[in-house]
Amino acid sequence: MDWYSAVFELIDMRSFSNLWYWIALAAVWSQTSRYVLGVPYDMIQRADRHGGQPEIDLEDMVRINCNRLLYVANTSGLWIVGILAMLMTSMILIAFVYDVEFAQAVFLLGAPMLVVGFLSLNTARVIQEQGLTGKALRKRMHRHRTATQFVGMVAIFVTALWGMYQNMTIGALGQ
C-alpha cells in the first residue's frame, strides 16, 4: 500500500459516511457556541453572578473584540464579502451542480458559519453604537449566543438530513 492510498483510506473523501466529518461538525459548533464574539461564555456567566472585576474584564474583552471585528469589517469588508461570495458560489456549483460530495460537506460547514459571522458583526455594531455595558451587554451577549445555537441546530439538522440522503442514495446505487 502506498502513501497516497493510505492517506485517502484514512481520510475518506465520501464525507458524509466518514466519522471524522461528524466529529469536525460537532467540534466546530461546540466552539462556535462556546465563544460569543470571541469571549468565552463562562466569562459572561461569571460577570452575571459576581459583578465587580469579572464584569469589568468582560466589558474590556467585549470592547476589544468588537473594535477588532468592526475595524476589519470597515477596512476590508467589501473585499472579504466579494471573496466569500466568489468562494461560496464556486462551492455551490461544485457541490450541487457537479455533485461533489466533499464540496457539499464543506458548504454545509461553511454557509452557516457565514450566517454566524454576519450575526456577530451585527451584534458588535449594536454594542458599539449603543455603548452597552453591564446587564444590557450581558443580555445582548446571551441573545447572540442563543441565535448562534439556533443557527447551529438548524445547520446540524440540515447536514444530518442531507448526509443520510447521500448515504442512502449512494448506498442504493452501490448494490
Taking only the tens place, the pLDDT of each residue in 52-88 is: 999 999 999 999 999 999 999 999 999 999 999 999 9
Alpha-helical (H) ranges within the chain are: 3-10, 19-34, 41-50, 52-92, 101-130, 134-174
Taking residue 4's Cβ as centre, other Cβ atoms within 10 Å add up to 8
For residue 18, what is the enclosing H or E element?
none
pTM of the predicted protein model = 0.85
- Nearest Cα neighbor of 38 from 63, 60, 65 is 65
How many whole angstroms separate alpha carbon 121 and alpha carbon 153? 20
Which parts of the chain sit beneath pLDDT 50?
A: 175
Which pLDDT score, from 0 to 100, does residue 168 have? 86
